Amino acid sequence: MGRRGKSITRQLLFAIRQLLWAGLLTLLTQFGGVLWLLLLPFRKIRPYRYPVFLVVYLLATVFLIPPLACLGGRVPLPVFSSDVVKPESLWFAFLNRHYVRPALGDALQTVGENLQLRYPEAVIYYMDAGFPFINGYPLEPHFSHRDGKKVDISLYWTRKSDGKLVAGSPSPIGYGACAAPLPGEYDYNTECRKKGFGTLLWIAAWRLLSGMKMPIRSMDRELGN
């Protein structure tokens, strides 16, 4: 292969690599892939290209995306501004997966305030909700988080030793842990382990690949259920 052929091969591999990065960022954050491609002209600023992307991404996440999302009828759930509604992990906000319709955001705040009147230590910890733009745009691996009307709520956990409420979830991301089934409930955790799945964390991937329609009773529960 001549010098020209090697040059073309390098350019092709570079293009494929950048498209893969853009695809992954789009899958996780919706707009991150577009931003990655827009910042490609800065790729030669080594070793600063990744910090440049992160800084621009954070600035856009905080200052640009929320007002643009409002134009389309979506608002971000509180990150630090509420005492009753908080993210299970900051990753949900960092990845812009915490956008909902205003009515759902208000409902969560109202439910949280009423809940604290009865249980002063209670906080609603949310997980995946929706992306900031485009109704019908999928939030993988969920089937239904496409319209700003869905949000996953972490279960409340208590310590076995004293029965006191534990802040947050045993899982660092909220997903991947499950409560024991109530009497009469289907034991998804046991059945999935029998089929070779280590934890419920992998059920979402299996649903995505196989189109499995069965519901999951774990920490992934919608408001009102």
pLDDT 10s digits, 45-64: 766 778 889 999 999 999 99
The CA–CA distances, whole Å, from 61 to 52, 95, 192 equal 14, 8, 37
Listed range (7-11, 44-48, 56-60, 139-143) with the worst mean pLDDT? 44-48
HSE toward the beta carbon, residue 129, CA cutoff 13 A? 36
pTM of the model: 0.78
The reported pLDDT for the residue numbered 100 is 97
What are the DSSP calls for 104-151, one per residue? HHHHHHHHHHHHHHH-TT--EEE-----SS-TT---TT-SS-SSS---
Residue at token pair 């995505």: 208
Query: Where exactly are the structural domains of the chain?
Result: 7-71, 75-225
The reported pLDDT for the residue numbered 58 is 96
| Residue 90 or residue 11, greater confidence | 90
Percent of the chain with pLDDT over 70: 81
Percent of the chain with pLDDT over 90: 50
Residue 1 — pLDDT band, cuts 50, 70, 90? low
| Residue 167 or residue 14, greater confidence | 14
CA 205 – CA 192 distance, rounded (Å): 13
What does the CA dihedral 104, 109, 115, 120 come to, rounded to 10 degrees?
A: 150
Pick the closest to residue 207 from 182, 187, 188, 185 (CA basis).
188
The reported pLDDT for the residue numbered 2 is 62
| Residue 131 or residue 199, greater confidence | 131
The reported pLDDT for the residue numbered 35 is 95
The reported pLDDT for the residue numbered 206 is 41
Pick the closest to residue 178 from 133, 125, 220, 134 (CA basis).
220
